[in-house]
Amino acid sequence: MQDLRMGSPPLGEWGPLSSRLVFFLLSAMIVPMASPGSPSSSWPAPEHRCRLPPSANLSREWLNASIPREVQGGREGPSRCRRYRLESLANFSALGLQPGRDVDLSQLEQEKCLDGWEYSRELYLSTIVTEWNLVCDDDWKAPLTASLFFVGVLVGSFISGQLSDKFGRKKVLFATLGVQTGFSFLQVFSTSWEMFSVLFVIVGMGQISNYVAAFVLGTEILGKTVRIIFCTLGVCIFYAVGYMLLPLFAYFIRDWQMLLLALTLPGLLCIPLWWVIPESPRWLISQGRVQEAEIIIRKAAKTNGITAPDVIFDPMEEMTSQKQQTHTILDLVRTKNIRFVTIMSVIIWMIISVGYFGLSLDTPNLHGDAYINCFLSAVIEVPAYIIAWVLLRNLPRRYSMAAALFLGGCVLLFIQLVPPHLHILSIILVMLGKFGITSSFSIVYVYTAELYPTVVRNMGVGASSMASRLGSILSPYFVYLGAYDRFLPYILMGSLTVLTGILTLFLPESYGMPLPDTIEQMLRVKGQASNSTRVSKDEEESPVILKSTAF
């Protein structure tokens, strides 16, 4: 095989098709993935109180006093789930008694909201919470909705690699885009919370499979100098752009069904890209479809104004490259060294995921305008990804990620010390926490891939990514704890993030070291010396092609 990297001579380094066009088109396809699947677009719970039936014969004074007062999140307000018993209020009203003066309200019997709820429409005209009354005794269903989406992501993470390896990157990319778009569209017509949730699981499966296929296709087509930009900046920043569009659309479209429809339809714009984006030549070669791979590469060379050689692939080298050792998931815990790395990676990925998705889901609950807060939460990811890219190029992985985690965790712990009237300062600290955790999330992909040897690298990163899915499933319940104590989610996420930063310091350093090919060549933990030496700048910038892994 003479060359499969369409960014290396003799096919050109930064040609219109081989790099720029594929780079921007694949990155742009990430945008529709970010919005429809976001649980925060559909399950915010607006202010609510018990509805009083029209048949209740109450005076104006008793109508105003019919809802008990209680402290919620440090502020006193009307109860969301209880009301005074209407029969008693009707009797007092008929007798002409006055609440508070003639009747001690604290002694009155209370009851549940037997006639439903009244919801504030100041922020949202409707959400799935108001659609199916996911409040009070059923308030557990709202975070479960988000968790079910991440269950779909977990399942999609598991099957996406196998589908991509069997059917091809391009086919899976567009097929899963169709799954995400189609089932998001069906969600608009959901007649029950159960139907919405089942469809949400499938949307999660399609979204992550779509992301992985685009990610793998880009890493296999793009040249080494472009690949790391695509992996750390391209897909991530375009994902953040899609995230930014969520509050923008939601500000103008405040009905959950119309909002979901508006966020879903842009996925149809990607259909024409089928005739522009090529299949991965690497995958075609692995399937023995050499002629198709040559056609793609010669087309790229022609578009770039470069003459391709008469013989692009050496059949003998091709046969050699297809000989692979067989390894199983048990190899990730076979020796003490790799077992330590695996356990640490699983813990670190899981906690980072809890912090990232927990802060993302919690933005509607911050003080101030919910739409601005959500937009800021998306915007802060852009500099976070840029900083991660700079750190990956110039500084050791271990200390870079630990510093990002310490920053994210410490500022979250400081939030509880902010005086209640300084709402802006609290929001700034939350955004700084999101900045640190997002940066570490970007760094951990490259760092983990560099720690594992070639023979089990895909399984190692895949196992770590699966652990992160478990963290994302748990994250809505961290947010849910805020109903009992507003600072409890930040205390838990901040503490766990700082702990993760400490754990990171126990991992071996991989910056400037050659990638290990075998388990025996892995960098040693506990300060043991390694025979590895620094490598060239090019290899350092392109540490690995992550195949069949998940974000």
**What class has domain 327-551?**
mainly alpha
Q: 101 versus 120: which is more confidently predicted?
A: 120
Show the tokens assigned to 370. Answer: 């919910």
- CB contact at 8 A, 408 and 436: yes
Reported as half-sphere exposure (CB side, CA atoms, 13 A), residue 188 has a value of 17
Q: What per-residue confidence (pLDDT) applies to 542?
A: 45
What integer pLDDT is reported at residue 463 of this predicted model? 78
Give the lowest-confidence range in 58-67, 121-130, 182-191, 295-304: 295-304
pLDDT tier, 242 (very low <50, low <70, confident <90, very high otherwise) = confident
**What pTM was computed for the model?**
0.76
User: Is 308 or 482 the better-scoring residue by pLDDT?
Assistant: 482
pLDDT of residue 352: 92
Q: Which residues pair with 117 in a beta bridge?
A: 50
Residue type, 487: F
Q: 64-89 pLDDT, tens per residue?
A: 778 888 776 566 778 888 888 888 88
User: Per-residue pLDDT averaged across 510-532, rounded?
Assistant: 64
Which residues are CB-neighbours of 409 under 8 A, at least 6 positions away? 355, 433, 436, 493, 494, 495, 496, 497, 498, 499, 500, 501
Q: Do domains 1-43+130-323 and 327-551 have the same CATH topology?
A: yes
Mean pLDDT confidence for 142-165: 81
Whether the link from the prior residue into 44 is cis, omega within 30° of 0, is no
What average pLDDT score do residues 367-384 get? 86
More confident residue, 329 or 114: 114
pLDDT at residue 196 is higher than 90:
yes
- For the ranges 10-19, 379-388, 405-414, the lowest mean pLDDT is seen at 10-19
Among 47-56, 67-76, 436-445, 472-481, the least confident range: 67-76
pLDDT at 214: 80
Q: What is the mean pLDDT of residues 38-54?
A: 71
Q: Which amino acid is at 396?
A: P
Residue range 268-287: average pLDDT? Answer: 81
Secondary structure (3-state) at 403:
helix
pLDDT of residue 435 exceeding 90: yes
User: For residues 518 and 4, what is the distance between their CA atoms, to the nearest angstrom?
Assistant: 24
pLDDT mean across residues, the chain: 77
pLDDT at 243: 85
Q: What is the mean pLDDT of residues 86-93?
A: 80
Report whether pLDDT(327) > 90. Answer: no
pLDDT of 126 > 50? The answer is yes
Q: What is the mean pLDDT of residues 210-215?
A: 78
Which of these ranges, 179-183, 188-192, 532-536, has the smallest mean pLDDT?
Answer: 532-536
Question: Which burial class, exposed, middle or buried, applies to 491 when counting CB atoms under 10 A from its CB (0-12, 13-18, 19+)?
Answer: middle
**Tokens representing residue 184 in the block:** 């998001």
Q: What is the pLDDT of residue 404?
A: 92
Percent of the chain with pLDDT over 90: 10
pLDDT at 199: 93
Q: Is the bond into 10 cis (omega within 30 degrees of 0)? A: yes
Q: Is the pLDDT of residue 527 over 70?
A: no
CATH 1.20.1250.20 for the 1-43+130-323 domain, yes or no: yes
At 432, the pLDDT band (50, 70, 90 cuts) reads: very high
pLDDT confidence bin for 28, thresholds 50/70/90:
confident
pLDDT at 549: 39
The two three-digit tokens of residue 338, written as one number: 């790799």
The region of weakest confidence among 24-38, 73-87, 227-241, 467-481 is 24-38
Residue 6 has pLDDT above 60, yes or no: no
Q: Is the pLDDT of residue 368 over 80?
A: no
**Least confident stretch, 183-197, 283-297, 334-348:** 283-297
Most confident of 163-177, 202-216, 228-242, 341-355: 341-355
β strands within 247-316, DSSP E: none
CA dist., res. 42 & res. 281, Å (int):
40
Q: Which of 26-35, 182-191, 298-307, 486-495 has the lowest mean pLDDT?
A: 298-307
Query: Above 50 in pLDDT, residue 392?
Result: yes
Look at the block and give the residue holding tokens 């899963």: 176
Where do the domains of the chain lie? 1-43+130-323, 48-119, 327-551
pLDDT of residue 169: 81
Question: Which pLDDT value is given to residue 497?
Answer: 92
**pLDDT of 407 above 90:** yes
pLDDT of 38 reads 54
Task: Judge whether 475 and 144 are in contact, CB under 8 Å.
Answer: no
More confident residue, 405 or 322: 405
CB burial of 219-257 (b: ≥16 within 10 Å; e: otherwise) equals bbbbbbbbbbebbbbbbbbbbbbbbbbbbebbbebbebb
- Confidence category of residue 301, pLDDT binned at 50, 70, 90: low
Q: Which has the higher per-residue pLDDT, 540 or 88? A: 88
Distance CA 95, CA 305 (A): 94
